[in-house]
Amino acid sequence: MSAPAREVVVHPDANVLAAATAARLLTHLVDTQSHRAPVHAVLTGGTVGIATLAAVAASPARDAVDWSQVHLWWGDERFLPDGDPDRNETQARGALLTALGEALPSANVHAVPALGPDVPTPEVAAERYASELASFATDGAEVPTFDVLMLGMGPDGHVASLFPGHVALGASGVATVGVHGSPKPPPLRVSLTFEALRAARQVWVVAAGAEKADAVASALADAPVSLTPAAGAYGTERTLWLVDAAAVSEAPAVPGPSQAH
């Protein structure tokens, strides 16, 4: 089955991008809940990813979501001790999860296992995360059918913790992988594999800033995934690129933001 064509939505700047992505996420969760429960959403780390969660927290519309029927996962995690400020989970809790309080059951928050005495390596964390993902999967799948999976993208075109030229790009038959030697600190990480990412109904790649322009242009031009991993990010029903004008400045034939103001 061929992947759906990428859609690109351009916003004026990073702040508007985060706010608009938050509004889109809230609407998507509410719409999805009107005909399916529970909803599985995959979060991302990174500047825009966390800013999006903060914008969700600030929105009165967040109370339109039945968070008791939302399960949150992560596309990748920095392999650090629990509570480390550099963990994507820690930053997500600070941006949104703590603000949701008891509306979001703790059992619905599926963090990647942290470095600790029982989890000494990224591989152990990856295996345990894969088991948790599988326990929520249906029809023999490795992972739940994610309703929406958000990805930030690095200047090198990485998504999650899948970096150019890295062996993790080729991981198959597994939902998660331990990552060593990440060019983006910290060096040890855990990531969903492309197989897992592509199980999502909708994949949203969010990118802002001129430093992402080369990678955005390469990905939208279908560069080799080994060179630009973001080119391999797509969902079964929709692949949405949510970018600001600076990040799409080198991508040909992409209409700019509506000049509404």
Ligand X SMILES: O=C(O)[C@H](O)[C@@H](O)[C@H](O)[C@H](O)COP(=O)(O)O
- Which residues are at the interface with ligand X (CB under 6 A)? 44-49, 76, 78, 88, 152-154, 158-160, 184
DSSP string, 140-205: T-SS---SEEEEEB-TT--BTTB-TT-GGGG--S-SEEEE-S-SSSSS-EEEE-HHHHTTSSEEEE
- Nearest distance, CB of residue 44 and ligand X, angstroms: 5
- Nearest distance, CB of residue 9 and ligand X, angstroms: 17
Position 75, amino acid: G
Q: Tell me the chain's radius of gyration from C-alpha atoms.
A: 17
- Nearest distance, CB of residue 114 and ligand X, angstroms: 14
Nearer Cβ to ligand X (33/200): 200
Nearer Cβ to ligand X (33/50): 50
Could you give the count of Cα atoms lying within 13 Å of 184 in the half-sphere of its Cβ? 23
Q: Which residue in 223, 137, 210, 213 sits closest to 176, CA to CA?
A: 137
- Nearest distance, CB of residue 166 and ligand X, angstroms: 12
Nearer Cβ to ligand X (26/206): 206
- Nearest distance, CB of residue 106 and ligand X, angstroms: 22
Nearer Cβ to ligand X (147/244): 244
Q: Are 208 and 247 in contact (CB under 8 A)?
A: yes
Q: Which residue in 191, 144, 180 sits closest to 45, CA to CA?
A: 191
Q: Which residue is nearest to ligand X (CB)?
A: 152
Nearer Cβ to ligand X (14/26): 14
